[in-house]
């Protein structure tokens, strides 16, 4: 009998009424013949409340006790869903991360999964029991301390459980009905994708799309876990909800997509991120080792650098521009100033009113001129490009934030994603 992992986010389990709706989704899959494991998040807003309590208790709280507090939200949800499933006549029980166990490292607040012992869990679902698992949490076995995986960690929990159980699929239920070509709030003509490759989804998630946590997509790609994004807010008993092809977006291997269509679309989607800041270092000596002098201290400060542009040398000097997350902007400038004796720069400038807009698609590997089309289209709208980065399946542009929506709409239409 095939195994299925179902994950429900905070909006999906926001109250008892919605938990009952979730239980109906679970019952539908059980009646369809699946052995089911369910991974749940805390109720919407509950994790923020618990984090707030920790901060109120102490500004310098113990991260181990922080994990003990914030993991309780998922414990409540898992127990409530198990109770509702039992009331509906299904055999069900709740499982906490430490009971399986889900083994992690000891990076409290952002732990990474090392292993999942699926023996007890597999035996439970083989026996016809629905396993309701508290997401977002695990255990550091050497210390016996509870750990949490960071925001969005329930997605990662679900994909990891699916990989451990060798499940046919991991269904991620959210408040949207799939992955779209771009944000429908910006482009009303945005379309829901039937399928998207792991690599494309990884790029979209890391470049601004909020549907899935980046780590969960990485895990799905590494273990080839077919992941299906769908809405939990639809009628669980409606005929279309049982049709995987029509109810959401399947994230799968590129070969599966190619096998299902004659030729891949050149561009799959447009993503954008407003969480960007630009730092420019002016009049830096153009000599070996200067890049290491700039980016070494930033790495030591755990500041993630994305786009990097270095101007052509003039009179032995050059300018270096790069982007960092907005939250790290002031810290990045301070790190550069602290290294002034080594870098010997003239001035540090910066801007936070910038946006990164990205064009993504596996079809770009075999099609020339994709970037040239974008340059021409953006120029035609009077949009200046501050920086550019590329990969085999992505082109990212840094532009002024005021032009974000215009750029996204322009590129979405340019590559035929409106229809």
Q: Is 198 annotated as a binding residue?
A: no
Sort 316 into a burial class: Cβ within 10 Å, 0-12 / 13-18 / 19+.
Answer: exposed
Rounded distance, CA 112 to CA 150, Å? 9
Sort 79 into a burial class: Cβ within 10 Å, 0-12 / 13-18 / 19+.
Answer: middle
Q: Is 9 annotated as a binding residue?
A: yes
Q: Write the CB contacts of 297 (distance below 8 Å, at least 6 apart in sequence).
A: 335, 336, 338, 339
Q: What angle do CA 253, 165, 153 make, to 5 degrees?
A: 75
Rounded distance, CA 209 to CA 201, Å? 9
Closest CA relative to residue 162, chosen from 109, 199, 121, 211: 121
Answer for the pair 332, 295: CB distance below 8 angstroms, yes or no: no
Q: Is 404 annotated as a binding residue?
A: no
Q: Is 34 annotated as a binding residue?
A: no
Q: Is 338 annotated as a binding residue?
A: no
Q: Is 416 annotated as a binding residue?
A: no
DSSP lists the bridge partners of residue 314 as 317
Structure-block tokens of residue 196: 């998207």
Q: Is 180 annotated as a binding residue?
A: yes
Q: Which single residue is written with the structure tokens 């035929």?
A: 416
Q: Is 175 annotated as a binding residue?
A: yes
Closest CA relative to residue 386, chosen from 372, 396, 373: 396
Rounded distance, CA 139 to CA 85, Å? 26
Q: Is 210 annotated as a binding residue?
A: yes
Q: Is 74 annotated as a binding residue?
A: yes
Q: Is 211 annotated as a binding residue?
A: yes
Largest CA distance in the chain: 79
Q: Is 174 annotated as a binding residue?
A: yes
Binding residue ranges for ATP: 7-10, 174-175, 180, 185, 210-211
- Annotated binding-site residue numbers: 7-10, 47, 74, 174-175, 180, 185, 210-211
Q: Known binding site for substrate: residues?
A: 47, 74
């Amino acid at each position: 009998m095939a195994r299925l992992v179902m994950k429900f986010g905070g909006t999906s389990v926001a109250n008892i009424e919605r938990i009952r709706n979730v239980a109906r989704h679970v019952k539908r899959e059980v009646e369809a013949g699946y052995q089911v494991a369910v991974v749940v998040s805390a109720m919407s807003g509950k994790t923020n409340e618990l984090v707030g309590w920790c901060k109120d208790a102490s500004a310098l709280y113990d991260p181990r006790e922080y994990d003990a507090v914030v993991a309780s939200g998922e414990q409540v949800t898992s127990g409530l869903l198990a109770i509702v499933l039992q009331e509906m006549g299904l055999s069900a029980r709740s499982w906490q991360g430490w009971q399986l166990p889900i083994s992690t490292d000891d990076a409290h607040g952002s732990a990474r999964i090392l292993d999942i012992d699926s023996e007890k869990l597999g035996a439970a679902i083989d026996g016809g029991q629905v396993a309701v698992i508290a997401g977002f949490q695990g255990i550091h076995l050497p210390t016996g301390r509870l750990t949490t995986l960071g925001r969005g960690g329930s997605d990662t929990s679900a994909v990891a459980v699916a990989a451990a159980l060798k499940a046919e699929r991991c269904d991620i239920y959210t408040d949207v009905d799939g992955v779209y070509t771009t944000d429908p709030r910006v482009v009303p003509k945005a379309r829901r994708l039937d399928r998207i490759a792991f690599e494309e989804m990884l790029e979209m998630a890391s470049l601004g799309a909020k549907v899935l946590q980046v780590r969960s997509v990485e895990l799905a790609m590494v273990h080839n876990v077919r992941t299906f994004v769908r809405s939990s807010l639809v009628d669980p008993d409606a005929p279309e909800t049982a049709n995987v092809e029509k109810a959401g977006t399947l994230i799968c291997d590129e070969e599966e997509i190619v096998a299902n269509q004659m030729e891949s679309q050149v561009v799959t989607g447009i993503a954008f991120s407003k969480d960007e800041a630009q730092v420019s270092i002016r009049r830096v000596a153009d000599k070996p080792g200067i890049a290491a002098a700039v980016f070494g201290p930033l790495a030591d400060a755990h500041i993630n650098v994305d786009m990097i542009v270095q101007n052509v040398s003039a009179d032995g000097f050059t300018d270096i521009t790069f982007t960092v997350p907005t939250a790290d902007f002031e810290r990045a400038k301070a790190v550069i100033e602290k290294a002034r004796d080594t870098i010997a720069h003239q001035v540090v400038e910066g801007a936070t009113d910038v946006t990164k807009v990205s064009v993504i698609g596996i079809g770009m590997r075999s099609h020339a001129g994709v970037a040239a089309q974008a340059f021409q289209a953006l120029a035609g709208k009077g949009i200046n490009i501050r920086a550019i980065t590329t990969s085999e399946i992505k082109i990212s542009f840094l532009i002024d934030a005021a032009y974000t929506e215009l750029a996204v709409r322009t590129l979405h239409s340019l590559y035929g994603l409106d229809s």
